[in-house]
Structure 1
Amino acid sequence: MAKITPFKAVRPTRDKVSLVASRSYQSYTQAQREARLDNNPFSFLHIVNPGYKYAREITGVERYTLVKNRYLEFKEENIFIQDETPSFYMYKIVDRDKQVFHGIVAAASAEDYENNIIKKHEDTIEYKEIVFKDYLKTVGFNTEPVLLTYPDNKTINSIFNKMENERAEYEFTTTFRDTHYLWKIDDKETIKTIQDEFQNMETIYIADGHHRTSSSYLLSKDLKEKNSEHNGTEAYNYFMTFLIPESELKIHEFNRLVKDLNGLTKEEFLIKLDASFKIENRGIIPYKPTQKHHFSMYLDGEFYSLSLRKVNHSFSNSLDALDAQLLYNTILQPILGIEDLRNDTRINYLNGKKDIINLKSNIDNGDFAVGFGMVPVTIEEMKQLADDGLKMPPKSTYIEPKLRSGVTIYEF
């Protein structure tokens, strides 16, 4: 049974939310970050990049402390206020393509993560978990909800429909032309209804945010061990999440780019591919695959379609049948010599939201020798892997929606 709980969010005032809200720090170019920091004193980027105030790069524990200081300044200046009553928050995004996402911002149980009620499908890197755990411990808040997904639920959907008839607490449009809405849910009966529906769910799944989830779990363990009066109700026993129905989750693929052909000529490389794939030269016409076990390839100014010769392949589990793993098993590792998908500098990843021409451009400019495109993972594949206790290769999914930082903040 999945346990979620309301919390007293720290939030921007209504008049400043559009100024505060920001994308993730890494998604901006340096020029974009500097423009926002120069021209917008309310941007959440001032909190996560506190060294900008001193015109120097600050890292490690010193940075964490300054992040906390900037955050406290935002609270002291009443840019941020904290709700007086524990609440859920209904969040809606309508993107520029008119895709609509609805969900609930809530606190989920770290114990549910430990007990595999909250299931994962992707490996994490230990040092990243520890770094983010130490960051959270120092700053004392989290502003990036983990994206969780659950089976579509008529009762919860009816609450969404009802809330949409009321005035939103927030409504703002970003420069990406996505419109964001937030409603506060503080009615006790509605809160209980939502909690009851989730308690009837045996499992929910991490869609995006495996490292954040793991770090929050490690933090809860640390603080629990140090608290002699621990009773299970403390805020550190939970972490902030955005729970979205499975039907609204948008999963894009990650395409692969490789810097060289591992010492092979183009002809030698194609001959090696022929052992596992039927190869068709598509010329200069962009090609994007439309079914599992088919890949697109861009090499030396031309597109190719690669379709798996199934007579030579059998799949022993759900991971082997995953296209990202299949590409690794048949091409990346045995032919191109890439062993470590996380750390090998010869491989890079391009999310599938960017079109196939973007992949072509990265190769035409000489940065890479060959690129591979694939179809997106389905929600059914993602859940099956999690149920089987298996983990996808890194960068197997690029998942939407992406929430803005600084809209709801969870303190512990």
Structure 2
Amino acid sequence: MVKISTFAGYLANKDNLDKIISPPYDVCTVKEAREETGDNEMYYFHIEKPGIDLPDTATKEEVALKGKANLLNFIEKGYLVKDDAERVYIYSQQMGDHVQYGIVCLSSIDDYANNKIKRHEHTLPETELERTNLCDIQCANASPVFFSFKGGDDIKSKVAEIIQSEPYGRTTTQDKVIHTLWRCTVEDSTYLVKAFEEIESTYIADGHHRSAAAYNVGVRRRQRAIEQGVDVTGEEDFNFFLTVIFPESECMILDYNRLLNTLNDMTEDEFIEKLSTNFTLEEIKGDNVKPTAKGHISLYIKEKWFDMQVKPELMNTENPAKNLDYNVLTDFC
């Protein structure tokens, strides 16, 4: 059973969606974010990457405090508007012909602790601490963690009904992705919360550091409450964090590319021979060089494309996460 919850979100003012929406915080440096933001005081990087508004010598605490001040400023100026009811939301991304619909909701830190929220990456302690302190000082989950789930035909059917209604807002970003948000009715929200009780697990697709940070903040605040003699029920806000949960069947798997800048003094033929210890390699004929199925990796070398598959006897029968393609690439190349 997965536990999700409704919440009354702060929504980007629909009159300024194109000015507010920004890329994820972790796809660029502070310098790049500063240049992209320019003089746009509504750009969400002011909240997600508040270092853009400070000298590069600013401490991490100063950056977090600036993020809190910027968030309060966005609310005061009406760039972010508080919803009038607790609910869940439907969020879609359209990339070309592909559309995926996710449920924006709160997920439980207890599910994270009990491994109902599945992880497949380790976190960097310094990055995790930085996100933890920003979340704690800012008193906000500034962006959702990207989850996926298996099954849930009733959930997908309900979402299909909801998206027939008028959306709250829609905007297209520079990368030509169309973003749309629907506010669910209280009744539909209750239905979806109940439906997720039948889902066994959710899976972190992107956002391991944000998930860990939210968990850390929840544990901190739970401990503070207990030390102050407050009875903790498990339903307090700090027990949950912001997520968007997409059906596995709708998720688009994007390329995960690596570039080798050295073959460690091997020739190309020696490198291929070394790979053949753990992989079967077959030259790809034609123009369709992208992997077409799980377990396939495309390699470009000697001005040719090869399809690589790890040998079956090397697959991990105890830890399925080790069989993810990027882990296979790391462990056996």
* TM-score under structure 2 length normalisation: 0.86
Partner of 1:303: 304
Inter-CA distance 286–29: structure 2 relative to 1 (3 Å threshold): farther
Q: How does 1:275-286 map to 2 (within 5 A)?
A: 275-277=277-279, 279=281
Shift of 1:278: 5.2
Partner of 2:236: 234
* Higher mean displacement: 301-310 or 11-20: 301-310
> Structure 1: how far apart are the matches of 2:141 and 2:284?
48
Q: How does 1:213-292 map to 2 (within 5 A)?
A: 213-227=211-225, 228-229=229-230, 230-277=232-279, 279=281, 287-291=289-293
> Structure 1: how far apart are the matches of 2:284 and 2:191?
55
Q: What's the RMSD between the two structures over aligned residues?
A: 2.9
> Structure 2: how far apart are the matches of 1:76 and 1:272?
61
Partner of 1:66: 66
The answer to whether 1:44 aligns with 2:44 is: yes
Shift of 1:85: 1.8
Quick check: 1:150–1:246 contact (8 Å CA) kept in 2? yes
Partner of 1:172: 171
Quick check: 1:6–1:107 contact (8 Å CA) kept in 2? yes
Inter-CA distance 112–271: structure 2 relative to 1 (3 Å threshold): closer
* TM-score under structure 1 length normalisation: 0.71
Q: How does 1:386-405 map to 2 (within 5 A)?
A: none
Partner of 1:153: 152
Shift of 1:179: 1.8
Shift of 1:158: 3.2
The answer to whether 1:18 aligns with 2:18 is: yes
Inter-CA distance 56–130: structure 2 relative to 1 (3 Å threshold): closer
Partner of 1:134: 133
Quick check: 2:151–2:199 contact (8 Å CA) kept in 1? no
Q: Choose the corresponding residue for 1:206, options 204, 207, 215.
A: 204
Shift of 1:14: 1.4
> Structure 2: how far apart are the matches of 1:180 and 1:61?
32
Q: Which has the higher helix share?
A: 2
Quick check: 2:33–2:52 contact (8 Å CA) kept in 1? no
> Structure 1: how far apart are the matches of 2:310 and 2:182?
52
Inter-CA distance 24–200: structure 2 relative to 1 (3 Å threshold): same
Shift of 1:7: 0.7
Inter-CA distance 322–35: structure 2 relative to 1 (3 Å threshold): closer
Question: Where does the alignment leave 5 or more consecutive residues of structure 1 unmatched?
Answer: 332-412
Shift of 1:26: 3.7
Question: Where does the alignment leave 5 or more consecutive residues of structure 2 unmatched?
Answer: none
Name the % identity: 28
Partner of 1:3: 3
> Structure 1: how far apart are the matches of 2:324 and 2:208?
19
Bigger RCO (CA 8 Å, 6+ sep): 1
Residue 306 of structure 2 aligns with an amino acid whose one-letter code is: S
Inter-CA distance 244–259: structure 2 relative to 1 (3 Å threshold): same
* Higher mean displacement: 133-142 or 269-278: 269-278
